[in-house]
Chain A
Amino acid sequence: MREAERRTWEVVKRAYEERSPAPRRARKPLVPALIAVAVILGAAIATPPGHAVFQKVREAVGVQQAEPALFSLPSSGRLLVVSADHGGVWLIHDNGLKRRIGSYTDAEWSPHGLYVIATTPHQLVALDVNDGIRWTLPRRASWPRWEGTRVDTRIAYLTPTGLRVVAGDGTGDHVLDRYAQDVPPAWDPLRLHTVAYFSGGAIVLRNADSGQVVWRAPISVLPSDLVWSSDGRYLAVTSSHKVIVLTQQGRVHRTVTTLGEGFVDAAFQPRTHRLALSIRTATGSEVRVVDVDHPGHARTLFAGPGTFGDFVWSPDGRWLLLAWPTADQWLFLHGSRVHAVGNIKEQFPRGDHLGPVLQLDQRWCCTR
């Protein structure tokens, strides 16, 4: 109990220090911005004359001293950015160079970052980001996920008629489960060509070639995402208010719940069992990191007003890139270090007046 108390106090203290106003304390550079925003926002919204300043204040939310543009990624690798609702797909190199690679609705890397699997409203498209399209399949595909070795790969994707799998060269396309539901499938990092997906109220782990079911784990939540740890020991099943962590045998290892808050995103830090969780709270948003091997040992990585978008770990696990649409910023988080990049909307223009909704999840890949 002493140990539990110590762990909890660390988490509570950290959450307290990172919340907005702390008038008597010496503040980190980040804090004053959030304080000003919280205080002025309250005043602005409360009074009709305040409406005039409200928009300006809203635009001021975020980390001070943000870079005006993305000049480089802090770790090696390349990043795919999907701009939802017809905004297209962008490729960002670690030196900051970026380009729009097409009007795709979704895109994911191949396991070694050599190719990209993308979707249009009517096609599944495999492409080389430098040399163009390699093959296409006429499918209304969503959530494509690519896995395998350098010489033998599979792509799982969902269609209105179930979960399908195709080889990396575009051959052997077949239905794996016609009852699979609309949750992104997730390949097992340990067992080749073996995919986890949601079907019939259960998480199913199944070999895509033989069709053999490895295990089936009924769950009591409607999942929104499935996320493996990089060593394949754990599979996190996320839902709006609960994250169920399964072992590689499909047994429940741990359940993470919130109190009336909502989970937005989850991702295991590479080569660890630390699970980053993006959480929508009553007053804003938070990113917490939970060690699934040590219950209760959670810490708040970042908290701020408004809404957080997707996040993604760098391939080396050192940085967490967090989209913060409310602040029009991207944050690169590493321990207590926060590196902010502003003017994100301007950098991913859509060709219309709508702000982009940018998807990053699992799209910061290995170097070539």
Chain B
Amino acid sequence: MAERAWIRGAQQGSVADLERLFREHWPRAYRAAHLVTGDAAAAEDIAQEAFLAAVRNLDRFDRSRPFGPWLHRIVVNRAIDWTRARKLRAEVELGDYLPAAPAPERNGSALARIAELPAEHRAVVVLRYILEYTPGEIAELLDLPRGTVNSRLRRGLDRMKEDAE
């Protein structure tokens, strides 16, 4: 499998293999971060930090495991933290001092409706329907019980349907 070869090459010092790995995984990592945070700059920071973490841990990475889930685990958890922190700041009424969060485009698309979900629901919906992980894999990625993942998926989808109606 090409990915394993790229990881092995990167571990042995090949910039070209690292770049292949990066180009393969960047779009989905950035997109996941963007969908969860709703903020392009934050998404860029989060995706970048995830890749830097990958570089730092490259030598210890187990080549028998897929790279994507490992990366997405960092990206999505970090994106949830970022979204919670922003929400927390908003709750202490910093309106005079903080710029308002950019409002998601309400164009009725599925992506716009995802942006309306709470961060935790948004994360599982993104992982399930954008990154196409199974509920079991999502449970493992986010350290959640499988039932919690299922209920968040269900509630998330219900809410998206309500928004669409």
A17: CB under 8 A from chain B?
yes
A350 to chain B, nearest CB (A): 35
Tell me, in angstroms, the Cα distance from A250 to B99 when the chains sit together.
10
Partner of A8, one of B40, B47, B59, B78: B47
A252: CB under 8 A from chain B?
yes
B74: CB under 8 A from chain A?
yes
Partner of B78, one of A22, A24, A215, A259: A259
B105 to chain A, nearest CB (A): 16
- Report chain A residues within 8 Å CB of B74: 259
Tell me, in angstroms, the Cα distance from A23 to B15 when the chains sit together.
11
A15: CB under 8 A from chain B?
yes
> Are B44 and A22 neighbours in the complex by a CB distance under 8 Å?
no
- Report chain B residues within 8 Å CB of A15: 52, 55-56
Known contacts A1-B30, A12-B22, A24-B14: A257-B97 contact under CB 8 Å = no
Instruction: Please choose the segment from B86-94, B121-129, B134-142 that sits at the chain A interface, where 4 or more of its residues have CB less than 8 A away.
Output: B86-94
- Report chain B residues within 8 Å CB of A258: 49
B164: CB under 8 A from chain A?
no
Q: Within B66-112, which residues are at the interface with A (CB < 8 Å)?
A: 74, 78, 82, 85, 88-89, 92, 94, 97-99
Query: A1-14 vs B: 1/0 string, CB under 8 Å?
Result: 10011011101110
Total contacting residues, chain A, CB less than 8 A: 39
> Are B15 and A25 neighbours in the complex by a CB distance under 8 Å?
yes
A217 to chain B, nearest CB (A): 4
- Report chain A residues within 8 Å CB of B41: 254, 295-296
| Interface SS majority for chain A | mixed
> Are B97 and A250 neighbours in the complex by a CB distance under 8 Å?
yes
B158: CB under 8 A from chain A?
no
B62: CB under 8 A from chain A?
no
Tell me, in angstroms, the Cα distance from A8 to B44 when the chains sit together.
8
> Are A5 and B52 neighbours in the complex by a CB distance under 8 Å?
no
Query: B residues touching A (Cβ–Cβ < 8 Å)?
Result: 10, 12-15, 18-19, 22-23, 26-27, 30, 40-45, 47-53, 55-59, 74, 78, 82, 85, 88-89, 92, 94, 97-99
Shortest beta-carbon contacts, A-B, top 4: A295-B41, A296-B44, A22-B13, A24-B13
- Given A19-B56, A19-B58, A220-B85, 4 further pairs, Cβ under 8 A: A218-B94, A251-B98, A295-B45, A298-B48
